[in-house]
Amino acid sequence: MRTIWSTFHKMKEEGRFSKESLRAAFTWKKIVRDLLIIGFILVTVLAGYERYVTSQFIDMKRDGKKTVATVDGHAIRVKDLSYYTLLEERVVEKQAMIYNPDSTKDYWNIRMDGKIMSTLVKRTILGNTIHDYLFYEEAKKADITLTAEEQEYLKNAQTDFWEDLLDQQWERLPASEDDINEQIRRAAIVQKYQRQLANEMGVTEASLNWDGYEYSKILKKHSVRNHKKVLDRLRVSELTIHHDTFNIINGLGKKN
């Protein structure tokens, strides 16, 4: 008891209970309180801003009818990208798991040939979709169909496609399974047409891929117009997969 009282008297003699010291203590409490309030307001504003920004991006299911490109007067819509979006995002995300399993988003942000990975993948998705539209139209004119054996192979390919999907892609399917299976079927017919065309032209099949030299010459004969306002809102790497959530502690993205 003496020790407590002696300590109290010593602190009093040192002026720790003076008006000035008490006023200073209350001032610091007010500063801390104000900082906490400001911090809470900042977090709330940032969270609201993130929701606003996210709402500006394309939701493939909600915005499926929006036009991303026009080819010879035909509208290529967001939903037409479904198959290649699922395919490319799955392939690249699996590569990202090897690159950095703790933060796969990092891989989507690396640069290759001066371009960000997600931008390159977006070009691949759109390029393949336009390529398939053009070649499918030509295949119909040439009455190209699949044989019974090829149809069986197609069924297996469709089954493999669905089995290979990432779990989160099932939750974020951009279109119905029937629509996506139809896109896979058309891709199979396009592949058959492309093989025949390559034989007729005496060139490799690869040269008739969406990024091939021979295909580029064919593409120049068609009218293609990209709809930049829609394409810019197409956030590849976050369409059928998802990485970032808002961290209320530091405002940074964190992996789900």
**pLDDT tens per residue across span 102-144:** 999 999 999 988 999 999 999 999 999 999 999 999 999 999 9
pTM for the model stands at 0.76
Mean per-residue pLDDT over the chain, rounded: 85
Can you point out the beta strands (E) in 92-150?
111-112, 115-116
Please tell me the distance from the alpha carbon of residue 195 to that of residue 198, in angstroms, as a whole number: 5
173 and 180 Cβ atoms separated by less than 8 Å: yes
From 54-63, 70-79, 155-164, the region with the lowest mean pLDDT? 54-63
User: Which has the closest alpha carbon to 169: 121, 241, 92?
Assistant: 241
Under CATH, which number does the domain 64-255 receive? 1.10.4030
What average pLDDT does this structure show over 27-56?
59
Q: Is residue 36 very low, low, confident or very high in pLDDT (cuts 50, 70, 90)? A: confident
The Cα-based distances of 255 to 20, 111, 124, 243 in angstroms read 49, 21, 25, 5
Tell whether the model's pLDDT for residue 80 goes beyond 60: yes
| pLDDT of residue 165 exceeding 80 | yes
Q: Please report the pLDDT score of residue 35 as a whole number.
A: 66
For residue range 174-224, what is the model confidence (pLDDT) as tens digits?
A: 999 999 999 999 999 999 999 999 999 999 999 999 999 999 999 999 999
Residue-range domain boundaries for the chain: 2-47, 64-255
Q: What integer is the mean pLDDT of 69-76?
A: 98
